[in-house]
Structure 1
Amino acid sequence: MLDLAQRIVLCALLLGSVYASCPPRCECSEAAHTVKCVSRDLRSVPTGIPGYTRNLFITGNQISRIGPECFKGLDNVTNLSLSNNRISELDSQTFAGLRSLRSLDLSNNQLAVIHPEAFTVQNQSLQELNLSRALYNHSSVMDLATSLRWSSLGTLKRLDLSHNGLIYLPSHIFSHLTGLQRLQLSNNSLVAIHNNSFSGLEHLEELDLTLNALKAVPEEGLRELDSLPRADLLLGENPFTCTCGIEPFALWLNRSQGRIGDADGLVCAFPTGMRNTSMLSVGTLTLGCHQSGAGADLALQTSYVFLGIVLGFVGLIFLFVLYLNRKGIKKRIYDLRDACREVWEGYHYRFEIDSDPRLSQVCTSADM
């Protein structure tokens, strides 16, 4: 009987210790290895999170900054969600202590300052990084580019940068993510593909560029997309402008439609007369670009030939007139020569008189 009572007390103590190990305003489940601190108006990451935790959800709170001191002793955490917390600053080595971290969700935050090596994880275990709706402004993308280069993310397989209002991608921003397989860039404002933004992504399997501001993809961008031979592409819901110069892109779409998942749904947005026209058919339509260009060149060449003929004819007439009036012209030239000679002799005579005082006096006496 005493032995049974001791066992009951021991179980109670164990249960009490398990219950006590759960941080205030959080819910813990040792059986599921999960801790949830959801919408509890937390201002910082709670302390006392159990060491058995593998799935940690701290979402919908008022946390503004996180650093490496927030996650000490949590070697078993594999999935960490910090979404919707108004986080504005990530310190370097913030997640370095999470040796088993595989999935990190920072979506719906306000990241304005991202320090170098902010995403470094020991053992390079991180495979999924969600930064959807996470960047505060356009300048923070430069911090992100630096952090992606400095952090050890060679094993990262999925990166979500959707819904961030990105206008451009810094050069070689993903060059150190050599193991990346899926890149989501949908719902941004990207206007071009250039600057070798996708260099180093030889293993990429999916690239989502839907709902951006792409009017066309120039040859430089097409070369970048061709440098991703294994990637399936999504390009829908972009405002493609089907005017002169779009043909190379349209022909590329036809040639590459096997790897473009939404090729059949790509349509022209501008001009009005081409709206909703399939991009796959634009390459075979007559936009009038090359034809009108050839016609313009021919018209220009014809104009030059006609102008040359007219000028040549005018020149011949001028020479003919000169020939017919050659005697009169010759007489006029002789008369002009004699007149110039007389004027010159008069000036010469006057110069001799002015330069010799004696002649000057003789001339004066003679005048008297």
Structure 2
Amino acid sequence: MPDLRILFFALFCVHPTRSSLCPLGCECSEAAQTVKCVSKDLRSIPSGIPGYTRNLFITGNQIRRIGPQAFKGLDNVTTLSLSNNRICEVESHTFSTLRSLRSLDLSSNQLAVIHPEAFTVQSRMLRELNLSRALYNHSSITDLATSLRWSSLEGLLGLDLSSNGLVYLPPRIFSHLSSLRRLQLANNSIVSIYNETFSGLEYLEELDLSLNALKTFREEGLLELEHLPRAKLNLGQNPYTCTCGIEPFAAWLNVSQGKVVDVERLICMFPVDLRNTSLLTAARLILGCHRAGEGDNLALQTSYVFLGIVLGFVGLMFLFVLYLNRKGIKKRIYDLRDTCREVWEGYHYRYEIDSDPRLAQVSTTADV
């Protein structure tokens, strides 16, 4: 009988202790080394997360800011998901205590302030960073660019920036991600690829630029794609405009079909008469651009030549008229010279009288 009391007492004591290891509102599984705090209206990262945790999911809450105090003591966490929490600010060194972190998901948040060293991880083991639908607006890309430069992300392999409404990418934004293999930029509003947009990504293997606002790739954009020798490209579902300016891109596609995964699905959206025409055939359909351009240049050159002839003729006529009237012109010049001399002598005489009082007195007497 005493043994039963001891057993019941032991069970009563041990059970609360085990349950207290899991924060209120979370579900913990020591066997799976996983903690889930999903849609519990949490306002901050809960304290008391077990040290055994390797997979931590805190999603669907009301957490506005995260900082370096939030994840202390969680050395074993390898996968951290903070999606859909309405996070608007990430402080510097927020994740620096997560020494084993390999995957970080911040998707579906409202990041307006990203501090320069927000993604610094001491072990530099972070491999996947998901920022899909995470930026508050397209201007947040400036903060992100600074953070990617200052944070220790040399080992990052995958970066997802899809669905952020991005209009442009700052030059060299990815230059410090030298190990990056996968870059997702789909479903944004990127209008053009400029020089040094993808600088430093020599080892990139996948680049998704589908569902953007690209009308064509100009020469500097094509050079950027050429600087990604290993990358497979997704360029579909963009509003390509098949006018003369797209010919270099169409020609590039014809010689780089193995590089573009969805090349067969790249079609013209404008003008209307070429809509749904494959870009692979567009170059042949609008080759007349070169001929039209050459005709325009020829017409312009002809106009310049004709204008030069007319001006030359007018100049010759002017010189001829001057030659015929050379004697009259010479006489007019001499008359003008004599007139000017007389006026000058008169002024000079008046000046001498005014400057000498005696001469002025003589002049007055003479007048009388």
Classify the TM-score, shorter chain.
0.7 to 0.9
Question: Could you tell me which residue of structure 2 aligns to residue 106 of structure 1?
Answer: 106
d(CA) in 2 for partners of 1:281 and 1:154?
A: 41
Question: What are structure 2's unaligned runs of at least 5 residues?
Answer: 342-348, 350-368
* SS in structure 2 at match of 1:18: helix
Structure 1 residue 311: deviation in Å? Answer: 8.6
d(CA) in 1 for partners of 2:189 and 2:300?
A: 41
Structure 1 residue 17: deviation in Å? Answer: 1.7
Pairing 1:20–2:20 present: yes
Question: Could you tell me which residue of structure 2 aligns to residue 278 of structure 1?
Answer: 278
| Contact 1:84 1:108 survives alignment (8 Å) | yes
Structure 1 residue 7: deviation in Å? Answer: 5.7
Matches within 5 A, 1:185-334: 185-302=185-302
d(CA) in 1 for partners of 2:335 and 2:175?
A: 90
After superposition, the CA RMSD in angstroms is: 3.3
Mark the CA change 1:3 to 1:271 in structure 2 (over 3 Å): closer, same or farther.
Answer: same
Mark the CA change 1:120 to 1:341 in structure 2 (over 3 Å): closer, same or farther.
Answer: closer
Mark the CA change 1:190 to 1:309 in structure 2 (over 3 Å): closer, same or farther.
Answer: closer
Higher mean alpha-carbon deviation, 282-291 vs 181-190, is at: 282-291
d(CA) in 2 for partners of 1:336 and 1:312?
A: 23
Question: Could you tell me which residue of structure 2 aligns to residue 120 of structure 1?
Answer: 120
Amino acid of the structure 2 residue aligned with 1:281:
T
Question: Could you tell me which residue of structure 2 aligns to residue 175 of structure 1?
Answer: 175
Pairing 1:77–2:77 present: yes
| Contact 2:39 2:61 survives alignment (8 Å) | yes
Higher mean alpha-carbon deviation, 176-185 vs 304-313, is at: 304-313
Question: Could you tell me which residue of structure 2 aligns to residue 90 of structure 1?
Answer: 90
Mark the CA change 1:154 to 1:2 in structure 2 (over 3 Å): closer, same or farther.
Answer: farther
d(CA) in 2 for partners of 1:343 and 1:210?
A: 80
* SS in structure 2 at match of 1:68: coil
Structure 1 residue 299: deviation in Å? Answer: 3.6
| Contact 2:119 2:148 survives alignment (8 Å) | yes
Structure 1 residue 187: deviation in Å? Answer: 0.7
d(CA) in 2 for partners of 1:152 and 1:33?
A: 27
Question: Could you tell me which residue of structure 2 aligns to residue 29 of structure 1?
Answer: 29
Mark the CA change 1:121 to 1:337 in structure 2 (over 3 Å): closer, same or farther.
Answer: closer
Question: Could you tell me which residue of structure 1 aligns to residue 356 of structure 2?
Answer: none
Mark the CA change 1:343 to 1:271 in structure 2 (over 3 Å): closer, same or farther.
Answer: closer
Higher mean alpha-carbon deviation, 82-91 vs 293-302, is at: 293-302
d(CA) in 2 for partners of 1:80 and 1:339?
A: 98
* SS in structure 2 at match of 1:259: coil
| Contact 2:106 2:134 survives alignment (8 Å) | yes
d(CA) in 1 for partners of 2:125 and 2:94?
A: 14
Amino acid of the structure 1 residue aligned with 2:249:
F
User: Sequence identity, in percent?
Assistant: 66
| Contact 1:235 1:262 survives alignment (8 Å) | yes
* 1:302-342 Cα shifts (integer Å, max 9, x gaps): 556667788999999x8xx99xxx9xx7xx98899999999
User: Scaled by the length of structure 1, what TM-score is found?
Assistant: 0.83
| Contact 1:43 1:64 survives alignment (8 Å) | yes
d(CA) in 2 for partners of 1:40 and 1:140?
A: 28
| Contact 2:217 2:249 survives alignment (8 Å) | yes
d(CA) in 2 for partners of 1:39 and 1:45?
A: 13
Mark the CA change 1:338 to 1:40 in structure 2 (over 3 Å): closer, same or farther.
Answer: closer
User: Scaled by the length of structure 2, what TM-score is found?
Assistant: 0.83
Question: What are structure 1's unaligned runs of at least 5 residues?
Answer: 349-354, 356-368
d(CA) in 2 for partners of 1:306 and 1:256?
A: 45
Question: Could you tell me which residue of structure 2 aligns to residue 360 of structure 1?
Answer: none
Structure 1 residue 298: deviation in Å? Answer: 3.3
Mark the CA change 1:20 to 1:246 in structure 2 (over 3 Å): closer, same or farther.
Answer: same
Amino acid of the structure 2 residue aligned with 1:133:
R
| Contact 2:244 2:286 survives alignment (8 Å) | no
